[in-house]
Amino acid sequence: MTGFSKLLPTVHKFRAALNRRKESKDRFGPSSSLGLNADPPGPPSPWGLPVEIQIQIFGYCGSPDYYTLKLVCKAFNALLSSNEHEIVRQYLRQRRHGTLPSPIDNERTYTRNPEDDVVLLSDLFPPSKSARGGHLYTFRYLHGIRSRQKQCSMLCYYLADRIMERFVQTERIFLRSSFPTRKAGRTALVKRGKASIWFHLAPLMYYTLYFLETYASARREQTNMLLREHEAGRLSVPIPIETRRRMYRDLQTRILQAPPFNNTAALVATHHCMHLLVSYIRYTMAPEAEIDDSWISSLLTVSPFTRIVEFFSAEIGDGGNQRMQRKDFMYNFYRDTTAYEKDRMNSVIFGRSSQRNTHSSVRDLWFDAASRELEARQAMPHDVEIGRLRAGGHDDEDAFALGSERSGTVCFVCNGGASPIINRDNDIQKASLQYLDKSNLTMEQASRWQLFNTSWTVHRVSPLHHGKDFETLLNNEAALKTYATRLRDQLTGDVLAGFQSTINTSESDTLSKSGELKECRWEFFAAGPSQQRGVPPKTSFPGILVTLEYENATYKAALLADTDSTTQPRKGVTALPLLLTKFPIALRQTFINFMYSNFDTYCSTLGLSSRFLCEALENFVSVVPGSEVEDVIKELQLTLSFSSSIAPALRNINVGVPRASLVSFLDQDAANSKGKAVQGKARIPLVENITSYLETHLAMKLDLDGSHHNGVARQHVRLSKVACAAFVISSDGRLKLIMDAKRAGENADEEEDTGDQNISSLRANERLLRAVIRKSFAGEQVTT
């Protein structure tokens, strides 16, 4: 027997085994089946439960989970696909308290509870009707409901954030008086305010979304009907633009006369919500100026609702690079408008007018139709729901407003809204903020006393370029608020703003102990009290104060310019050559990087020469009358630094001039008796007399101010620090201007008689600061 013959029986047995396995598989079906095939019957479900109970279990899942569950296994996919209708109905019953979507009527009431949002949404947006009767309850329908809820919730959050930001900016006095020492209390109040506004806005935004979607669908259906009439030869085209606008107004009126807007309360509430939405779109684009708002109507009608969310998201910087988000928004918005202009049906029916914006003003959308409808229902004027958020943290009423027990109420009303509650309460009426009225915006100003009693690090800054965002920076509240928000988001790494904090707290133990960032403010420097007493305006400096308030510390930075500068201002560029910072190292570097990325500016530490320190000291003394020098300067201390090439082991020597001897070093005759010529007629010989004294008693021939042209002395010995009771300044860029704590306090701007000594010290310090500004400006001109 050959080898092949021996193998043949084994092959037959193997083939027979394969055939038996195949027949068994065909007879019993797949092993993972849940018994859904009726012919032939399969094995029981792995769960051992009837399909009805399995449907109830799936009804407790979240709407995003169904598509994920379909990918688990074939059994889940088959069960979810074959019972999709029943599962969706069960899901809705669970969240609608046993009911299914039904038409809205006046007898039905809706709560503001977030868990009941699906009740209002599913009634406003019911499932599509089936050709066989009934409705199509599908996972796609649930996805649409969830998508609408998510978009409205995000938009309400963005609006609440913008509202509370303006509240904080305009109600600083109330916040500081209510929480004089507890910064955490202010933060808690702001958080409660955001949550309250978010809570009250959400259901109103659902009505707004319903109107916009219904109006878009009605316009599309009307265009289809007109196209059919035209194709049948019963309509001449193109339809004039005025006729088209009249047709659209009639569409809006029919929508407002149908549910849910046949309920006057729902119409009024939605009217207020539309006012709020449009006003904050305007405010975001141009807080200080009137703009052509026809593009807002395009944003609300031509683009989908998600484009409005993208607009506010790009403004806040939510989700990534703010510049890229704005670019993406503009690209998407342009794509929407282009697609609308090139729509074939519109071009056939309306001709060239289809490329024009039908709503020439934002009032053509909703507001005109709603105002006429409210007047027809005798709802003009109408009451405003009032809600108060007390400083103690207790919500008084369920209403669409925000306020406080002490400051009154912050109301959002339309032009036709007149609340008798506000009219009866004069205190609330005085304190209420009408955010739709731009004339009530106040500009926060910082006192120049913030510059005193602070140890600054001095920097030189090239001109700030901000033309892409704002034409001007000084006296522009919107610009400062924008940059304050950007800096805050960059420092906190705000998740909603899409920033990652660039500060590594391990690099700075001081910053890590400062706690959470509570507030970031950019303020203008106000005119000092010396201006009010007739002192020339040059005693105050135009500039910006940046304040970072942490839980356990407060850091500051100041950008200053000189009023006497002869440089011509340029559009989109602001020259603030001097930067003073009181930051930890890590925070200072982050701030400098922020300046570079937002203003394309170069920042470097300003080194001060020995000659400049001498001139600064003598100029300071020249302003103070001779009888007050001892009281203002008291003890003078000079630090002399030596070159390592001549004194490797000697770094510096401190030379102290006691208070009693200070006047003798100011004697002009003493300087001339030593044979030292004083350069300049108005120059005070203080440094000259001190160097003469050191040469006489210590045999140290110095040239600190460069008046002797002694290159060797200037090369190896220099003045590195000047310190006295009025100021401290050093060559490594350190500066501190010292004033009486009582005079430089929070009430320092009030008129009070503080004596000639304080006035002299103030003028001398301002002259010293002006010299530093001019030094930084001269260096900036060279470097730029």
Q: Read off the pLDDT of residues 579-638 as tens digits, 9 standing for 90 and up.
A: 999 999 889 998 998 998 888 888 988 888 888 898 888 888 888 887 788 888 888 999
Highest mean pLDDT: which of 143-157, 516-530, 737-751?
A: 143-157
Residue pair 301/212 in contact by the 8 Å Cβ criterion: yes
Within 10 A of 198 (CB to CB), how many other CB atoms are there? 19
Q: Give pLDDT, residue 148.
A: 94
Q: Read off the pLDDT of residues 655-679 as tens digits, 9 standing for 90 and up.
A: 888 888 888 888 765 544 444 444 4
Give the model's confidence band at 778: pLDDT under 50 very low, under 70 low, under 90 confident, else very high. low
Length of the chain: 784
Q: Give pLDDT, residue 33.
A: 37
Q: Read off the pLDDT of residues 625-642 as tens digits, 9 standing for 90 and up.
A: 877 888 888 889 999 888
Mean pLDDT, residues 725-743:
84
Within 10 A of 781 (CB to CB), how many other CB atoms are there? 12
Give the model's confidence band at 564: pLDDT under 50 very low, under 70 low, under 90 confident, else very high. low
Q: Give pLDDT, residue 174.
A: 75
Higher pLDDT, 403 or 99: 99
Higher pLDDT, 758 or 520: 520
Q: What angle do CA 611, 612, 617 make, to 5 degrees?
A: 100
Q: Read off the pLDDT of residues 316-339 as tens digits, 9 standing for 90 and up.
A: 877 677 888 888 999 999 999 888
How far apart are alpha carbons 299 and 365 in whole angstroms?
Answer: 11
Q: Read off the pLDDT of residues 455-481 as tens digits, 9 standing for 90 and up.
A: 999 999 998 988 777 877 887 888 888
> What is the percentage of the chain residues whose pLDDT exceeds 90?
21
Q: Read off the pLDDT of residues 155-172 as tens digits, 9 standing for 90 and up.
A: 999 999 888 888 888 877
Taking only Cα atoms into account, the Rg of the chain, rounded to an integer number of angstroms, comes to 38
Give the model's confidence band at 403: pLDDT under 50 very low, under 70 low, under 90 confident, else very high. very low
Calculate the average pLDDT of the chain: 77
DSSP strand pairing (517-525 vs 445-446): parallel
Q: Read off the pLDDT of residues 682-704 as tens digits, 9 standing for 90 and up.
A: 567 788 888 888 888 877 777 77
Is the pLDDT at 3 greater than 90, yes or no?
no
Q: Give pLDDT, residue 677.
A: 44
Highest mean pLDDT: which of 24-28, 165-169, 397-401?
A: 165-169
Residue 310, classed as helix, strand or coil, is helix
Residue pair 300/216 in contact by the 8 Å Cβ criterion: no
Residue 498 Ramachandran class (φ > 0 left, ψ -120 to 50 alpha, else beta): left
Mean pLDDT, residues 511-533:
68
What are the DSSP calls for 743-766, one per residue? TTSTTTTS-----HHHHHHHHHHH
Q: Pick the closest to residue 705 from 726, 741, 743, 679 (CA basis).
A: 679
Cα distances (Å, whole numbers) of residue 220 to 61, 214, 299, 345, 426: 36, 10, 17, 9, 49
Mean pLDDT, residues 23-41:
48
Residue 402, classed as helix, strand or coil, is strand
Residue pair 586/507 in contact by the 8 Å Cβ criterion: yes
Structure tokens at 215: 């109006």
Structure tokens at 644: 């390592």
Give the model's confidence band at 309: pLDDT under 50 very low, under 70 low, under 90 confident, else very high. very high
Q: Give pLDDT, residue 546.
A: 93
Q: Pick the closest to residue 140 from 63, 192, 253, 62 (CA basis).
A: 63
How far apart are alpha carbons 238 and 353 in whole angstroms?
Answer: 8
How far apart are alpha carbons 142 and 63 in whole angstroms?
Answer: 6
Which of these ranges, 91-105, 155-169, 247-261, 279-293, has the smallest mean pLDDT? 279-293
Q: Distance of alpha carbon 19 from its chain centroid, rounded? A: 72
How far apart are alpha carbons 81 and 84 in whole angstroms?
Answer: 5
Give the model's confidence band at 356: pLDDT under 50 very low, under 70 low, under 90 confident, else very high. low
Q: Give pLDDT, residue 540.
A: 63
Q: Give pLDDT, residue 776.
A: 84
Beta-carbon contacts of residue 312 (< 8 Å; ≥ 6 apart):
155, 158, 159, 162, 284
Is the pLDDT at 147 greater than 90, yes or no?
yes
What are the DSSP calls for 632-649, one per residue? HH-SEEEEEEE-TTT-TT
Structure tokens at 509: 């133990």
Beta-carbon contacts of residue 533 (< 8 Å; ≥ 6 apart):
751
Is the pLDDT at 448 greater than 60, yes or no?
yes
Cα distances (Å, whole numbers) of residue 37 to 52, 81, 611: 16, 14, 98
Give the model's confidence band at 551: pLDDT under 50 very low, under 70 low, under 90 confident, else very high. confident
Q: Give pLDDT, residue 513.
A: 75
Q: Read off the pLDDT of residues 404-432 as tens digits, 9 standing for 90 and up.
A: 333 334 455 565 544 322 232 333 223 23
Count H helices, E strands: the chain? Answer: 28, 16
DSSP state of 389: B
Beta-carbon contacts of residue 507 (< 8 Å; ≥ 6 apart):
585, 586
Give the model's confidence band at 545: pLDDT under 50 very low, under 70 low, under 90 confident, else very high. very high
Residue pair 762/530 in contact by the 8 Å Cβ criterion: yes
> What is the percentage of the chain residues whose pLDDT exceeds 70?
74
Cα distances (Å, whole numbers) of residue 110 to 96, 114, 432: 11, 11, 29
Structure tokens at 353: 């007018």
Residue pair 719/636 in contact by the 8 Å Cβ criterion: no
Residue pair 450/745 in contact by the 8 Å Cβ criterion: no
Residue type, 71: L
Q: Give pLDDT, residue 423.
A: 30
Residue 149 Ramachandran class (φ > 0 left, ψ -120 to 50 alpha, else beta): alpha
Mean pLDDT, residues 343-355:
78
Q: At what angle do helices 294-301 and 264-285 cross, to 10 degrees?
A: 120
How far apart are alpha carbons 476 and 473 in whole angstroms?
Answer: 5
Higher pLDDT, 778 or 433: 778
**Residue 341: exposure state from Cβ atoms within 10 A (0-12, 13-18, ≥19):** middle
Residue 276, classed as helix, strand or coil, is helix
Q: Pick the closest to residue 174 from 332, 354, 389 (CA basis).
A: 389
Residue listed under structure tokens 């400051």: 407
How far apart are alpha carbons 547 and 227 in whole angstroms?
Answer: 62
Structure tokens at 620: 């300071």
Q: Pick the closest to residue 624 from 743, 774, 725, 534 (CA basis).
A: 725
Structure tokens at 52: 């009805």
What are the DSSP calls for 215-267, one per residue? HHHHHHHHHHHHHHHHHTT---SPPPHHHHHHHHHHHHHHHHTSTTTTSHHHH
Q: Give pLDDT, residue 83.
A: 92
Within 10 A of 512 (CB to CB), how many other CB atoms are there? 14
Residue 494 Ramachandran class (φ > 0 left, ψ -120 to 50 alpha, else beta): beta
Sign, CA torsion 479/482/485/491: negative
Residue pair 550/521 in contact by the 8 Å Cβ criterion: no
Residue 360: its H or E element: none
**Residue 677: exposure state from Cβ atoms within 10 A (0-12, 13-18, ≥19):** exposed
How far apart are alpha carbons 355 and 343 in whole angstroms?
Answer: 9
Q: Read off the pLDDT of residues 219-278 as tens digits, 9 standing for 90 and up.
A: 999 999 999 998 999 988 888 888 888 999 999 999 999 999 999 989 999 999 999 999
Sign, CA torsion 747/751/754/756: positive
Q: Pick the closest to residue 194 from 287, 316, 95 (CA basis).
A: 316
Q: Give pLDDT, residue 391.
A: 41
